[in-house]
Amino acid sequence: MSDALVTMERRGGVLICHLDDGKANALSNDMIIAISEAISEAEGDDSIHAVVLHGREGKFSAGFDLTVMLAGDMAAMTDLVANGGELCRSIYAAKVPVVAACTGHALAAGALILLACDVRIGADQPCKIGLNEVAIGMTLPDWALTLAGERLSKRHLQRAIPTARITDALGAVDAGYLDEVVAPDAVLDAAIAQATEFAALDSKAYAVTIRKMRGAAVAQMAEQIAADRAGGLAAQI
């Protein structure tokens, strides 16, 4: 795992993943691998009962690495977006609860990570959260539309996706990106408290319930990601 991008901390049965690339927390392939490995570690360790994904100060994630997305290399772009899809799918299907400590801006794929997490605690401060792809001349891949349809408020789907509406933290609660907001200096503690509460749940019952609730959507996302890797992403952009 890349310690420069994701550092790990244990507090009781909670695994805390601090995401920090020193910049905007762009989802590069290395960042995606590091987070994915953390989720896999939590699922394979019976002493870990919940995970917290914690952004750096003021920035949860700015989305996919733009050096890849804007370079014109369709193969590299396809690989990055599909890898991001696998990460979101793995979080959404995780056998342990995953809590997001959203420390600020969460745009594009960063907002999709929020949608994949079970509970999202945000910072009550000026920030931008949302799916801005259409505004910058891109479209969401099919797996992302499936996830957004699962988690966003139905009242906000039109504004959130086709018209690329970006909102602040309080608006993100109403739209479905976040569940609650707290003072900026309380975000991590609130997320850990929520994860600790989840850690008391029966882990087997939780995993089975998640599979029953989300199995169809998770399977659909897997099919859509596979189609993207096979060349379908090019037709969506």
- Percent of the chain topping pLDDT 90: 93
Residue 71 forms part of a structural domain: yes
For the ranges 30-34, 54-58, 67-71, 160-164, the lowest mean pLDDT is seen at 67-71
Which whole number is the average pLDDT over 120-133?
Answer: 97
- In a 13 Å sphere around the CA of 23, the CA atoms on its Cβ side amount to 9
**Dihedrals phi, psi of 5, to nearest 5 degrees:** -105, -40
Rg value, the chain, Cα = 16
Average pLDDT over residues 108-120: 98
Find the CATH number of the domain harbouring 112: 3.90.226.10
Tell me whether residue 18 is in a domain.
Answer: yes
Mean pLDDT along residues 152-160? 96
Residue at 182 is within a domain: yes
In this structure, is residue 66 part of a structural domain?
A: yes
> Quick check: is 214 in a domain?
no
3-state class (DSSP) for residue 131? coil
Number of domains in the chain: 1
With tokens 């259409």, the residue in question is: 134
Sheet with 104-107: strands ordered across: 58-61, 104-107, 129-130
Q: Are 55 and 61 in contact (CB under 8 A)?
A: yes
Return d(Cα 100, Cα 191) in angstroms, integer: 7
Residue 132: pLDDT over 60: yes
| pLDDT of residue 26 exceeding 90 | yes
Residue 118 inside a domain? The answer is: yes
pLDDT score of 3: 52
Q: Please report which confidence band the pLDDT of residue 1 belongs to, taking 50, 70 and 90 as the band edges.
A: very low
In 3D, which of 156, 108, 143, 126 has the Cα closest to residue 229?
A: 143
Residue 2 has pLDDT above 50, yes or no: no
**Residue positions counted in the chain:** 237
d(CA 15, CA 8): 7
| pLDDT number for residue 4 | 78
Residue 111 has pLDDT above 80, yes or no: yes
Residue 224 lies in a domain: no
Q: How far is CA 1 from the centre of its chain?
A: 18
| Domain presence at residue 187 | yes
What pLDDT, on the 0 to 100 scale, is given for residue 231?
A: 84
| Residues spanned by the domain of 131 | 6-199
CA 126 – CA 58 distance, rounded (Å): 9
Tell me what percent of the residues of the chain surpass a pLDDT of 70: 96
Average pLDDT for residues 123-131, to the nearest whole number? 97
In the predicted model, what is the mean pLDDT of residues 200-222?
A: 97
Mean pLDDT for 62-82 is 94
When the pLDDT of each residue in the chain is averaged and rounded to a whole number, the result is 95
> Which is nearest to 115 in space by CA: 85, 138, 135?
85
